[in-house]
Chains A and B, each alone.
Chain A
């Protein structure tokens, strides 16, 4: 598999005064973009949330849609042609691993793009094998795509894109939803693909450090959708480091201004404890047995472990949402407030003031039509007086900077706002224990810092915190007590250390 047999003709991109306005919006998503990307260049595209990075990438790929989707200005050319007419010249990988798997078997999924381009059958399978090999997906071609991990799904999407032999590879936050192993897998695969094909690369990503070694140019979009910086990575980062960080980009070497974890004493009284606990989804297999764990009260605990280890299942079981498959979960009297010790036996309404759970996908827990009502749901379920409900909602909205969105529909919020709301709606009933599942997934730097500070405040006020996470910086700041769940078998317990 030498480079010659895989090499493609790298594409060139030219934008002149290009702009885009989404249908139904008054504001331009992008405006006056002048950008020339030479064949074979590797570009990292940065900018704050809402700066139009994804829009620009979709435009390069020719998938922005027609006149009913929005209105464009200026010109945009891929190899001198309109992107929609240069189909197959660009391969696009999107952020969400689950939404871009198209077919049920690995080989078929990779072949899909080739089929659409009208590649002859024999050649399709040659290309599929080469692509699967290039991304290091060491699986049989009839392997079910439903059994892939997030990192594997992203590599599958990459293989599907490069099987089309595109001269332009476009990656739209390909690692934002992955755990650290997945991020490393995808990065390695992209490096290998570029090595073999020599294609032009444009990657959009909040996490700069992942791609810095791989790119030779950094382009920065401002909040108004205009180009504000363009140049060699070190030069742009040196000049723009602080501004980028302030705009929410994860630039390396800018300290995160959050407190370090406070070490929790080993004999700290637990808020929740388990005895010989076995966990598993209803009707699913038992994932772990014999877990004896303690979640220290009024402190922050992080729960880590590889994908599929059952972290979320453990969190849901501790939160009184899933029934233990064996053994028991016991809440301390300071948490159970007069009820029995087993959270799963409490009524839904009784959980509210005792244990609050924030789900990984905010959308899964939204139940109301406005942000304000969303926060009010739980206080109302408690039967609080209208006045008290209003007071609490105002307090939460203010604290999470959601005041200006009070009338918005929760489903229309950005990722960072939706996360804040999902946390806020749990805080409104002041539960003694708050459990969070991957709270920092897909968050930009600003949202991250904000959330971590808020969680520190909660702990400071006496709330017991348990977070399922992969995020190293989050663990540094909130891993006062740490539980590591193994893929199979057991859990290790440790205390965080400063620094």
Chain B
């Protein structure tokens, strides 16, 4: 019956400075930092951003070991994205190697490098800024600082708690398929019946949860108060400024060096 335990943010290592920043602000900082980087596909802006980020995060207490442990999916995804660019990116300049559709050229090498660096420059800060974010604290920030509708934010927050139950449901259902004699083949069909059953259970759980929330006065006309204060301070302003500065420096560097290459060009 019991829900599986989702990873607890309490076990995450603490970071200097970043931990003092409101989770909602961290979301804002991640957006400020990475959105400009999505607009260009040159290698230099990504390299500058990544370089500054690594310095700043190491100052905040991110050790190489921690970096690898917490961001390995990104560290693996980045070169994979790069290799596909290397082989299939738009060819230009000298051709070094060719096989069927794959062609390694000056242009594709540059593109591969740019894409690899960019995935890292966008992925790493997003992962590291949210190392210790508790969903409840993020919801508090979104509702109290950003003033998003409480009904929406808290509804979504309560729903995240059901995810653990669904994981349990899914496991029990897979075992039961074997017990019912339909576990040997037809994996796709089996998954479809399980998905349907999960949907039914989800709707049922969701409506019970909604009743429980309504019974506790959720959705009433009364102005809601907040048990946990969610505040922003100078640290929050500083983090957003830092993020904006990193983005600005890297774009400016690319413009100055002439490597700036907007995605729409």
Cα-based distance from A121 to B230 in the complex (angstroms): 12
Residues in B whose Cβ lies below 8 Å from that of A99: 205, 208-209, 212
Contact segment of A37-45, A74-82, A186-194, A364-372: A364-372
CB distance from A306 to the nearest CB of B (A): 13
Tell whether A116 pairs with B136 under 8 Å between CB atoms, given A103-B161, A425-B180: no
A363 adjacent to chain B (CB < 8 Å):
yes
Contact A98 B215 (CB under 8 A): no
Residues in A whose Cβ lies below 8 Å from that of B5: 144, 146-147
CB distance from B5 to the nearest CB of A (A): 6
Cα-based distance from A57 to B265 in the complex (angstroms): 65
Interface size on B, residues (CB 8 A): 53
Contact A366 B197 (CB under 8 A): yes
Contact B181 A94 (CB under 8 A): no
Residues in B whose Cβ lies below 8 Å from that of A112: 213, 216, 218
A359 adjacent to chain B (CB < 8 Å):
yes
CB distance from B161 to the nearest CB of A (A): 6
A298 adjacent to chain B (CB < 8 Å):
no
CB distance from A34 to the nearest CB of B (A): 25
Q: Name which residue of chain A comes closest to B171, CB basis.
A: A281
Contact B225 A364 (CB under 8 A): no
Q: Name which residue of chain B comes closest to A144, CB basis.
A: B8
Tell whether A102 pairs with B158 under 8 Å between CB atoms, given A63-B211, A121-B226, A164-B216: yes
B179 adjacent to chain A (CB < 8 Å):
yes
Residues in A whose Cβ lies below 8 Å from that of B208: 94, 96, 99-100
Q: Name which residue of chain A comes closest to B226, CB basis.
A: A115
Partner of B224, one of A118, A128, A378, A381: A118
CB distance from A426 to the nearest CB of B (A): 8
Partner of A94, one of B135, B176, B212, B220: B212
Residues in B whose Cβ lies below 8 Å from that of A63: 211, 214-215
Contact B193 A367 (CB under 8 A): yes
Cα-based distance from A117 to B176 in the complex (angstroms): 43
CB distance from A283 to the nearest CB of B (A): 11
Contact A347 B172 (CB under 8 A): no
Which residue, B164, B205, B211, has most C-beta atoms of chain A within 10 A?
Answer: B211
Partner of A349, one of B169, B181, B193: B181
A105 adjacent to chain B (CB < 8 Å):
yes
Cα-based distance from A107 to B213 in the complex (angstroms): 16
Contact with B along A349-381 (1 / 0, CB 8 A): 101100011011101111100000000011001
Q: Name which residue of chain B comes closest to A113, CB basis.
A: B216
A310 adjacent to chain B (CB < 8 Å):
no
Tell whether A146 pairs with B3 under 8 Å between CB atoms, given A115-B226, A116-B220: yes
Contact B180 A377 (CB under 8 A): yes
Partner of B176, one of A145, A164, A359: A359
B60 adjacent to chain A (CB < 8 Å):
no
Interface size on A, residues (CB 8 A): 74
Contact A146 B6 (CB under 8 A): yes
Contact A365 B1 (CB under 8 A): no
Cα-based distance from A125 to B4 in the complex (angstroms): 28
CB distance from A296 to the nearest CB of B (A): 22
B175 adjacent to chain A (CB < 8 Å):
yes
Residues in B whose Cβ lies below 8 Å from that of A287: none
Contact A352 B181 (CB under 8 A): yes
Q: Name which residue of chain B comes closest to A99, CB basis.
A: B208
Residues in B whose Cβ lies below 8 Å from that of A147: 2, 5
Q: Name which residue of chain A comes closest to B222, CB basis.
A: A118
Residues in A whose Cβ lies below 8 Å from that of B228: 108, 111
Q: Name which residue of chain B comes closest to A374, CB basis.
A: B180
A201 adjacent to chain B (CB < 8 Å):
no
The 4 closest A-B pairs by CB, nearest first: A348-B183, A116-B217, A113-B216, A381-B181
Residues of A within 8 A of B (CB): 58, 61, 63, 87-88, 90-92, 94, 96-105, 107-108, 111-121, 124-125, 128, 144-147, 149-150, 157, 160-161, 164, 177, 308, 316, 319, 321-322, 347-349, 351-352, 356-357, 359-361, 363-367, 377-378, 381-382, 411, 425-426, 429
30 contacts between A and B (CB under 8 A): A63-B211, A87-B217, A98-B1, A98-B205, A100-B209, A100-B212, A103-B157, A103-B158, A104-B161, A112-B213, A113-B216, A114-B225, A116-B219, A118-B223, A118-B225, A146-B3, A160-B216, A164-B216, A308-B2, A348-B177, A348-B184, A357-B176, A359-B175, A359-B179, A363-B200, A363-B201, A377-B180, A382-B181, A425-B180, A426-B179
